[in-house]
Amino acid sequence: MHDFSYYIQLLLAGITVGSLYALIAIGYTMVYGILRLINFAHGDIFMAAGFFMIFISSTTSIYVSLPIVLILTVILGVAVERVAYRPLREAPRMSVMISAIGVSYLLQNFATYYTGGLARPYPVIPFLTREVTIGSMTVKALTIITPVLTVILVVALVLLINRTKIGMAMRAVAKDQNTARLMGIKINNVISITFVIGSFLAAVGSILYFSNYEQVTPTAGAMPGLKAFVAAVFGGIGSIPGAVLGAYVIGIVETFIKANSDYAIFSNAFTFALLIVILVFRPHGLFGEKLAEKV
C-alpha cells in the first residue's frame, strides 16, 4: 500500500494536468459557443506554441521569448480563422469541420517537416521548473503555479465576458448571429477576439505543459486537444466554468489511472468513455444550455 502523501502527490499532479486541460478547453468552448465549430486545429496551435518557444528561445533569452511566443500563437490562431474558417461561414457544418481537420493535418505535417519529425527538448524556464518543498514533499514550482494561474485567468475571463462591452458582444453573437449583426455588432471582429483569447490561453497552457513534459513532438497537441474538447463537452459546451470543472475531473482521474500500471493504457480511453457516457445521459453537458432544433 502507498502512504497518504503518495495520493496527495498524485492529486496535485492531477490538478496540474487538469488546469492545463482547462486552459485549452476554454479555447474550444468559446469557439464552439460562437461558431458552433469544433476547432480541431486548436490542439495543434497549442503544439505550435511549443515549437515557437523552442525556436525563439534558441536566439534570445527565455524572458524575452515568453511574450513573443504568446504574440505569435495569437497571430497563428487568428490567421487560421481568417484563412480556413471565415470563407466557409455560410457553408454546411461538415465542410467547416473538414476544413478544421485539414488545418490540423497541415500544422502537424508542417511541424514534422520543419523539425524532421523528432522530439525537441523544451527549454528550461527556471522559475517554473525549480523545485519547492512543501512539508515532506518536493514538487516542481509549476505544479503550484499552474492551478493558481489558471484560476486567475478563468476569473479574469469570466469577468471579461460578463462585465465588459466586448463580452456582451460575444454573448450576443453566441445567442444569435443575425440579430447581433442587426444590433451593430461587428461579427467578424468578435470572432477574431474569441480566437485571440483562445490562442492566448493555449499558448499559456503550452508553456506550462511542455515545461512539465520537457519535450515537443509534432503530434503532441492532438491528445491534449481532444481531451480538452471532451472536458468542454462534459461541462456543457459554451460554458466556461463547466469546461474548467470537466478539465479537472479528467486531469485528476487520468493521473490516477496512469499511476496503476495494469490500466495505464486506458488513460486516454477513459476520457472518451466519459464522453460517450455524458453524451448519452446529458447531451448538453453539466451546465450547457439545451438547444432545440429549429425546423
Partner 1 sequence: MKQKRYLLYSLLLAALILAALIAIDNSSLKSSMLSTILQKGAIYALLAVSMNLLNGFTGLFSLGQAGFMLLGAYTYAILTIPVEARRAVYQYFDGGLVQFSVPVLVGIIAAGLVAAIFAFLIGLPVLRLKSDYLAIATLGFAEIIRALIQWNTLGPITNGSNILRKFPTYSSLLFPFAVSAVCIGLIVLLIRSSYGRAFKAIREDEIAAEAMGINLAKHKMMAFCTSSFFAGVGGAMLAMFQQSVQAKYFTSAMTYEILLIVVIGGIGSVTGSIISSFLFVACSEWWLRFLDAEHYIGKFKVPLLRSGFRMVVFSIVIMVIVLFYRRGIMGTNEFSWRAIEKFFKDPFGRKAREEERKKVTTSHE
Task: Give the nearer residue to partner 1 in terms of CB position, either 6 or 114.
Answer: 114
Q: CA 82: distance to chain centroid? A: 20
Tell me how far, at minimum, the Cβ of 48 lies from partner 1, in Å.
14
Comparing CA positions, the residue from 21, 22, 26 lying closest to residue 239 is 26
Tell me how far, at minimum, the Cβ of 112 lies from partner 1, in Å.
5
Task: Give the nearer residue to partner 1 in terms of CB position, either 106 or 253.
Answer: 106
Tell me how far, at minimum, the Cβ of 185 lies from partner 1, in Å.
24
DSSP state of 83: I
Tell me how far, at minimum, the Cβ of 121 lies from partner 1, in Å.
20
Sign of the alpha-carbon torsion through 277, 13, 238, 241:
positive
Task: Give the nearer residue to partner 1 in terms of CB position, either 100 or 153.
Answer: 100
CA separation for the pair 62, 109 (Å, rounded): 27
CA separation for the pair 23, 43 (Å, rounded): 11
CA separation for the pair 112, 116 (Å, rounded): 5
Task: Give the nearer residue to partner 1 in terms of CB position, either 134 or 273.
Answer: 273
Q: Provide the pairing of β-strand 215-216 with 120-121.
A: antiparallel
Task: Give the nearer residue to partner 1 in terms of CB position, either 2 or 294.
Answer: 294
DSSP characters for 135-180?
Answer: TTEEEEHHHHHHHHHHHHHHHHHHHHHHHSHHHHHHHHHHH-HHHH
Task: Give the nearer residue to partner 1 in terms of CB position, either 31 or 245.
Answer: 31
Using CB under 8 A as the criterion, which residues of the chain lie in contact with partner 1 when the complex forms? 32, 36-38, 83-84, 87-88, 91, 93-95, 97-99, 101-106, 109-110, 112-114, 116-117, 222, 226, 229-230, 233, 262, 265-266, 268-269, 271-273, 275-276, 279-280, 283, 293, 295
Comparing CA positions, the residue from 90, 87, 117 lying closest to residue 102 is 87
Tell me how far, at minimum, the Cβ of 260 lies from partner 1, in Å.
12
Tell me how far, at minimum, the Cβ of 30 lies from partner 1, in Å.
15
Contact criterion met (CB below 8 Å) for 26 and 237 = no
CA separation for the pair 78, 72 (Å, rounded): 10
Tell me how far, at minimum, the Cβ of 288 lies from partner 1, in Å.
11
Task: Give the nearer residue to partner 1 in terms of CB position, either 192 or 219.
Answer: 219
